[in-house]
Structure 1
Amino acid sequence: MDQIKKYMQENQELILRDIQYLVESDSPSNNKKLADICNKKIQNLFQRYFGYKPEEIEQENYGNHLRFEYGEGEETILMLSHFDTVWNEGDLAFKVEGDKVFGPGILDMKGGLVQAIWALKALQDLHIPLSKKVIFLCTSDEEVGSPSSKEIIEKEAMNSEFALVTEPPVAESGALKTGRKGTSKYYVEIEGKAAHAGNHHEDGISAIKEAAQQIVYLESQTNYDIGTTVNVGSIKGGGKLNVVSESSTFGVDVRAKSLEEQQRIDKIMRELKPHTEGITLKVRGGINRPPMNRNNKTSELFIIAKRGAKDLGIDLKEEYVGGGSDGNFTANLGVPTLDGLGALGKGIHARNEHILASEIPNRTALLCNLISSL
């Protein structure tokens, strides 16, 4: 049996224990206090296994980021994980039901972060030499678009030969992600004029009616044939039923396969005009992540991963997906990027979010094999 796989099988329960240690520490993106508590737990793991802590990169509005170096060499491998989650404190609890292990952020992506730590630990404990230094970034704001970590990620990527992202693989197939759509986010703020709905309805200018008209128009820009989706995922406005609504705000999520298509939709958003006289309209937001497109270097990197997976008895596949990640940033800079190297499971951003305990050894060994092969 492959020594790395055997090592992971022998330590499966300890890896799961460490995953539980982080998952039980809620770390929503918008709560710096909680994110920093989780940050300290991650530092404890590095200190316990490697004898030194990561560099802490302090942030004002988000949890502090972590930068950890392992190995030596002039060339580097950049490894990316995030520890923020979409869940508020107390939303979900850690629990085990058979092979399924549930918890907030366990799949996206604290499971992958812990597996990455153990991949490096295996290299250390098994005395497997590396030809490149590993730079491991653990960030706290990926779920909200990486506003404070993007620049850090791109700076490290510019000096890296490869980028490995420990987001979960494709749920059904376990495939790695070699392509992702670009993402854009917008908020449309509408101001109208309030009036009594019974006595003076004609004097009002409804912000909700205007929002409805804008939403129908924007969602009509969805084109499945070219892979573009425009989704209004949130809306608020109005108040009492007997008052013409004075204000309304809705949020728009855009996914596209090319930068040109992102820019086309961005122009549409910037040029939105009111349908009704007396309405004022403001758009904020913009393009967040560029598309992550596969190239020849990505193909070569995937072949290396597939070769290592075969030694583990895994028939590794690759897929193009709609969700974005920090791998979009690295790939856009021309760095060969493989995504989906984290824990296997289902339920990203859903209440049934879980990983499969039985897959922990294989997926951790896969990442470890890949790092050692580069």
Structure 2
Amino acid sequence: MNDTEQAKALVERLAQLTLIESPSLDVAASDKVVDLLAHWWRAAGAQVRTVPTSAGMNLVADIAGDGDPILLVGHSDTVWPVGTLRSDVPWVDDGEVVRGPGVYDMKSGLLVMLAAAERLRGRSHRAFRVVVVCDEEIGSPTTSGLLRECAAGVRAAIGFESPHPDGALKVGRRGSTRVRLAVTGRASHAALDPEGGVSAIDELVDQLRMLRTVVADPNLVSEVLCNVGTIRGGGRANVVPADAEAEIGLRFVDPATEAQVLSAIRSLQPIRNGARLQVDLLSHRPAWRASDADEELLYALSAAATGIGQHIEGRPAAGAGDTNLLGSLGVPTVDGFGPRGGGAHAVDEHILTSSLLERVALLEAFLSGK
């Protein structure tokens, strides 16, 4: 096939995946996506197994080859609810640009892996393993164990999330942690018995002020991003509120700062007599600071790119993903191997078809050892 024919075939497959709307925690939708992927991977010569979790279905595909395998990492869930195709983000293919919910983040990346595997069939190449999880967009709460299992014995890992806007790979990513801080107080009439109550909302406000002090500590190794994303509590202005809670998003650059801040949050103590605090870790992606081994993997990918007339670079990224776990485990890791485009989690989500073919060619070259 020439480039035009190959691009058309890939976009046709991308349409099939995109038209299965697969928001996180939609078990039936993830089953459909994995059924389709499993069919394609078996046809490409892979040993395929499917792994159910409470959040949906996951896929692991092994392709035999030389040496310890390279782990290729992706996810099937999107941030878009069912019905998005009929409203805010319809499927559009105008040749060079393809639009639709999840095309950039990251169903196109799943097809880069598959198309490279098909090109390599019958040729000498490195062994590789594919894992596609169903719940990455919500922090992989049910699949971190599967990721660890799939990473055992691999020589390196490549994530197929979207790249930097200029196509650069992601080497190192901020850690991402979601924490719920819940306060239990004691209800009372705000006018008739104000002293008999313990305001959970007042306690929560003061605890959030303490949290600001923790994350702004000048002795921390690196900056912490802290966002109080939601607050809930109380019911009526004439009742001292007995319950309040906040969900907090934290981003870390390095593991030492991450450990220090999370320890401090877990150690928060009530200020008011009668108030109780509970800290729940909702999701946790560890900080991944690029290592020498990560840089060596980037260098090998750059050399493969040069060999086929491409140029590739890499640098750290702010957003977190499944490669945070793999990189933090010491597995040589890069991310951002999906095609160029834009609009992740936005109504202008799209990919560039030409970049899809470029990524397939680069992965083929790297896995073949060119």
Question: Normalising by the residue count of structure 1, what TM-score does the alignment of the two structures yield?
Answer: 0.88
Q: For 1:295-330, what per-residue CA distance to the aligned partner results, in whole angstroms no more than 9, with x for missing partners?
A: 222222211211232345443221111222221222
Q: For 1:199-221, what per-residue CA distance to the aligned partner results, in whole angstroms no more than 9, with x for missing partners?
A: 55554433222222222332344
The answer to whether residue 68 in structure 2 is matched with residue 75 in structure 1 is yes
Q: Which runs of 5+ in 2 are unaligned?
A: none
SS of the residue aligned with 1:231?
strand
* Cross-structure match for 2:362: 366
SS of the residue aligned with 2:279?
strand
Compute the displacement of 1:177 (Å).
0.8
Aligned 8 A contact 2:162 2:340 in 1 = yes
SS of the residue aligned with 1:306?
helix
Q: Which runs of 5+ in 1 are unaligned?
A: 1-5
2:141 to 144, 147, 153: 147
* Cross-structure match for 2:100: 103
SS of the residue aligned with 2:269?
coil
Q: For 1:145-186, what per-residue CA distance to the aligned partner results, in whole angstroms no more than 9, with x for missing partners?
A: 223322222222221111111111112x21101111222221
Aligned 8 A contact 2:308 2:365 in 1 = no
* Cross-structure match for 2:30: 35
Aligned 8 A contact 1:43 1:53 in 2 = no
Write out aligned runs for 1:223-234 (5 A): 226-234=222-230
CA change 1:355–1:238 in 2 (3 A) is farther
2:279 to 264, 279, 283: 283
Compute the displacement of 1:265 (Å).
0.8
CA change 1:301–1:94 in 2 (3 A) is same
For 1:67, give the aligned amino acid.
Answer: V
CA change 1:274–1:101 in 2 (3 A) is farther
Q: For 1:329-366, what per-residue CA distance to the aligned partner results, in whole angstroms no more than 9, with x for missing partners?
A: 22223221111111222222333332223322112222
CA change 1:241–1:122 in 2 (3 A) is farther
CA change 1:53–1:158 in 2 (3 A) is closer
Counterparts of 2:25 and 2:192 in 1: how far apart (Å)?
A: 43
Aligned 8 A contact 1:219 1:232 in 2 = no
| Greater displacement, 6-15 / 272-281 | 6-15
SS of the residue aligned with 1:226?
coil
For 1:360, give the aligned amino acid.
Answer: L
Compute the displacement of 1:120 (Å).
1.0
Counterparts of 1:340 and 1:21 in 2: how far apart (Å)?
A: 23
Compute the displacement of 1:196 (Å).
4.2
CA change 1:121–1:242 in 2 (3 A) is farther
2:120 to 123, 127, 146: 123
Counterparts of 2:360 and 2:238 in 1: how far apart (Å)?
A: 59
Using the aligned pairs only, state the percent identity: 29
Compute the displacement of 1:140 (Å).
0.9
Counterparts of 1:246 and 1:181 in 2: how far apart (Å)?
A: 36
Higher strand share: 2
| Greater displacement, 199-208 / 254-263 | 199-208
Aligned 8 A contact 1:166 1:341 in 2 = yes
* Cross-structure match for 1:89: 82
SS of the residue aligned with 2:348?
coil
The answer to whether residue 29 in structure 2 is matched with residue 13 in structure 1 is no
* Cross-structure match for 1:325: 321
CA change 1:71–1:179 in 2 (3 A) is same
Counterparts of 1:188 and 1:7 in 2: how far apart (Å)?
A: 56
Counterparts of 1:293 and 1:305 in 2: how far apart (Å)?
A: 19
Q: For 1:34-82, what per-residue CA distance to the aligned partner results, in whole angstroms no more than 9, with x for missing partners?
A: 22222222223324x42667211122x1212111112333421111111
CA change 1:73–1:309 in 2 (3 A) is closer
Write out aligned runs for 1:81-230 (5 A): 81-92=74-85, 93-96=89-92, 98=94, 99-124=96-121, 127-130=122-125, 132-171=126-165, 173-197=166-190, 200-201=193-194, 203-222=196-215, 226-230=222-226
| Greater displacement, 215-224 / 317-326 | 215-224
Counterparts of 2:56 and 2:362 in 1: how far apart (Å)?
A: 29
Counterparts of 1:286 and 1:264 in 2: how far apart (Å)?
A: 18
Aligned 8 A contact 1:58 1:65 in 2 = yes
* Cross-structure match for 2:346: 350
Aligned 8 A contact 1:195 1:244 in 2 = yes
For 2:99, give the aligned amino acid.
Answer: F
| Aligned pairs, number | 363
